[in-house]
Chain A
Amino acid sequence: MESQIREIHQQLVEKKITCTDLIQAKLDLLKPNAYNTVNSLLENLALEKAKKVDEKIKNKQEIGLLEGIPFGIKDVYMLQGTFTTASSKFLKNYKAPYTASAIQKLIDAGAIPIVKENCDSFGHGSSSENTIFGAVKNALNKDLVAGGSSGGSAVNVAKNYTTFSIGGDTGGSVRQPSGYNKVYGLKPTYGRVSRFGLLAYASSTDCVGPIATTIEDVRIVLNVISGVDAKDQTTYLSNEISEKEISRYDDIKTIGYFKNFIENEAIDATIKSDFLASIEKIKSKGINVKMLDFFDSETLVSTYYTLAMAETASNLSRLDGTNYGNRMEGKNLKESYSSTRSENFSEETKRRIVGGNQVLSQGFSDEIYTKALSIRDQISENFEKDFQEVDIILSPVTPNPQPKIGESLKNPLAMYLSDSYTVGFSLGQLPTFTIPQGTATGIQLTAAKNNDELLLKFANFLKEVL
């Protein structure tokens, strides 16, 4: 099966390249920062680790599959001793005191972190423009946005600056930029991968997700980062996904798609026709296709943002400049809090914090917040029913193609609505996988909870079919 990780591993073992040269070459590609993907380069750390891998090879010691493989980290993950800014003014000079569990597992397996990657500040955005490091540019066309919030990660993978990157997905932040830059991006089932050390946005949907150029690389990374972690009590025990198992797909009999996602006026005509053409190709291979009913886009987006804003208002209340971050002194503690938060949060982040505090306040909470929770329950029930009828749900990743840089910031409502195809699956805590095929911004595959394996399997099938 096609895999960049295996290819590099083989070259290292056969001494066709040294790890130091490999890492240096990637650092050299990242240094000009031509796509604004770089928040900080981990040059010394990476080269030191590369040297150790080279010594092992020289001493004829066996190396693991991920040893020496360069990877990128969205700048919302803690990596001890490195700047972890969340692309925000607030944490511009903040250094991570410890390392996130998922990142530590990759480092323990020998993978080498080379870059902290640009993203929307605190994950608040769908275009990677809400950042102090400059708007990330799309890998295919620099005039277009990279998508977000894990835009820097998707672009680095698409440009082959990193072999894989670790993004974070709360409402589509791995899947949408992966679609925008034509790479694979997985949001695993909620709880499959530990969130410990990920700066929290909306804790009930935050997921750690790999982005790569091949399905096999996604599988390899997912297996390493999955598992129970005492530091994140929502994690659960999952089985390893084998290469052999995802190579055969004869157990996928029926797929479905949401009729109302396709039959509406908001979807771009080409994305619609390309998606329907993909469905026809799948049908021609003998797979049954069912049209399913689902919630309308406005309800999905409003439910998601109501809950995400409430959670982020709560999560970001700790950022007050007392213990860390860019403190602005005031005449007393309260004044310091408000000066610090007013000066350091971006407009988009402020909008979400204020919205969150609104819905959590007396008078609003029953009418809006609790009702949104109830709609979320109904969405989950809907999914449970759907997955009794179909194995996989297919959908476009976005209703429209990538916007130009600058357009999204002008119209926040349009930006929120652009997430309408991704947020429902987040609310359902389901595994969802973007593949770079089918439409201009890819296709999303979704399975029932803890059925991540089925997605990789079906993606392999679609690689042949589409």
Chain B
Amino acid sequence: MNKTMTVDILSSIKGAKPSDTVSKLFEIIKNANTSSTNFYSKNHQNAVSLDELREDIVIESSDLEKKIIIENFPKEKKGYLVVSKVIEE
């Protein structure tokens, strides 16, 4: 299925449209001369190498941290945290 998604759907922002100002910036990039043809030549240098990744560890949150996370939750009803109705497409 070939489904085109518009920027308002992609961004989850109602009525969002591409901005003329931002489009001007993109035009400059499109028209820029690049000496390198290998777009991926060096960017991987900014990433952390696999050897340097730390082990996955589970850190238990403190009681205060847990309390604040619950406090930040937008909606609570009868002791339960309420989320919006999930739909399947």
Contact partners of B16 in chain A: CB under 8 A: 342, 350, 353-354
Which residues A357-414 have CB closer than 8 A to chain B?
357-359, 361, 364, 366-368, 370-378, 380-381, 412-413
Interface residue? A341 (CB, 8 A): yes
The reply on B80 being an interface residue by CB < 8 A is: no
Q: Does A323 contact B72, Cβ atoms closer than 8 Å?
A: yes
**Do A350 and B85 touch across chains, with their CB atoms under 8 A apart?**
no
Please determine whether B14 and A338 come into contact, CB atoms closer than 8 angstroms: yes
- Contacts between the two chains (Cβ within 8 Å), count: 171
Q: Which residues of A contact B74 (CB under 8 A)?
A: 321-327
B42 engages A233 (CB within 8 Å) = no
Q: Are A303 and B29 in contact (CB under 8 A)?
A: yes
Contact of A345 among B13, B15, B84 (CB under 8 A): B13
Interchain CB contact under 8 A, B14 and A339: yes
Q: Are A377 and B42 in contact (CB under 8 A)?
A: yes
Q: How far is the CA of A305 from the CA of B85 in the complex (A)?
A: 36
- In the assembled complex, the CB of A115 is this many whole angstroms from the nearest CB of chain B, namely 20
Residue of A366, A372, A374, A375 with most partner-chain B CB within 10 A? A374
Cβ distance B56 to chain A, nearest Cβ, rounded Å: 12
Known contacts A355-B19, A374-B34: A305-B87 contact under CB 8 Å: no
Interface residues of B in 12-36 (CB under 8 A from A): 12-19, 21-22, 24-26, 28-30, 32, 34-36
Q: How large is the interface on B (under 10, 10 to 19, 20 to 34, 35 or more residues)?
A: 35 or more
Q: Is the CB of A332 within 8 A of B25?
A: no
Interface residues of A in 308-347 (CB under 8 A from B): 309, 313, 317, 320-327, 329-339, 341-342, 345
Shortest CB distance B58–A (Å): 14
User: Chain A's nearest CB lies how many Å from the CB of B76?
Assistant: 12
Question: CB distance B75 to A327 under 8 Å?
Answer: yes
Secondary structure class of chain A's binding surface, majority of residues: helix
Report the nearest A residue to B26, measured CB to CB.
A368
Residues of A within 8 Å of B11, CB to CB, are 313, 341, 350, 353-354, 357
Does A249 lie at the interface of the complex (its beta carbon under 8 Å from any beta carbon of B)? Answer: no
Which residues of the other chain, B, contact A230 by a CB distance below 8 angstroms? 54
Q: How far is the CB of A307 from chain B (nearest CB, A)?
A: 10
Question: Is the C-beta of A461 less than 8 angstroms from some C-beta in chain B?
Answer: no
Given contacts A357-B7, A358-B22, contact A375 B65 (CB under 8 A): no
Residue in A80, A327, A350, A371 whose beta carbon sits within 8 Å of that of B68 in the complex: A80
Interface centre among B28, B36, B52, B73 (most CB of A within 10 A): B28
Name A334's closest neighbour in chain B (CB-CB): B87
Looking across the interface, which residue of chain B has its beta carbon closest to that of A415? B21
Partner of B25, one of A95, A301, A323, A354: A301
Query: Which listed residue, B26, B42, B54, B65, touches A98 by the CB 8 Å rule?
Result: B65
> In this complex, what residue of B is CB-closest to A98?
B65
Name A49-97 residues within 8 Å CB distance of B: 80-81, 94-97
Q: Is the CB of A357 within 8 A of B54?
A: no
Taking a contact as CB atoms under 8 Å apart, the answer to whether A377 and B41 are in contact is yes
A97 to B62 alpha-carbon distance, docked (Å): 9
Q: Does A245 contact B (CB under 8 A)?
A: no
Check if B48 sits within 8 Å of A234, measured CB to CB.
yes
Question: Is A240's beta carbon under 8 Å from chain B?
Answer: no
Chain B residues, Cβ within 8 Å of A351: 19, 21-22
CA distance A320 to B83 in the complex (A): 11
Q: Let me know if A24 is at the binding interface, CB within 8 A.
A: no
Interchain CA distance A378-B26 in the complex, whole Å: 18
Contact present for A333 and B21 (CB under 8 Å): no
Taking a contact as CB atoms under 8 Å apart, the answer to whether A372 and B29 are in contact is yes
A306 touches B52 (CB 8 A): no
Is A298 an interface residue when CB atoms closer than 8 A count as contact?
yes
Q: Which of B30, B32, B35 is packed against the most chain A CB atoms within 10 Å?
A: B32
B26 in contact with A350 (CB, 8 Å): no
A20 within 8 A of B: no
Q: Which residues of B contact A233 (CB under 8 A)?
A: 48, 52-54
User: Closest residue to B19 on the A side, CB-wise?
Assistant: A351
B1 located at the interface, meaning its Cβ lies under 8 Å from any Cβ of chain A in the complex: no
Measured CB to CB, the closest approach of chain B to A338, in angstroms, equals: 5
Contacts A234-B48, A355-B18 given; indicate if A299 touches B28 (C-beta within 8 A): yes
Give 6 closest A-B pairs by Cβ, nearest first.
Answer: A327-B74, A336-B84, A355-B22, A302-B28, A324-B72, A97-B68
A sample of 14 cross-chain residue pairs with beta-carbon separation below 8 angstroms, ordered by A number, consists of: A97-B61, A234-B48, A298-B28, A302-B26, A323-B74, A341-B11, A354-B18, A354-B22, A357-B11, A368-B29, A374-B41, A375-B34, A376-B43, A380-B42
Interface residues of B (CB under 8 A from A): 5, 7-8, 10-19, 21-22, 24-26, 28-30, 32, 34-36, 38-43, 46, 48, 52-54, 61, 64-66, 68-69, 71-75, 83-87
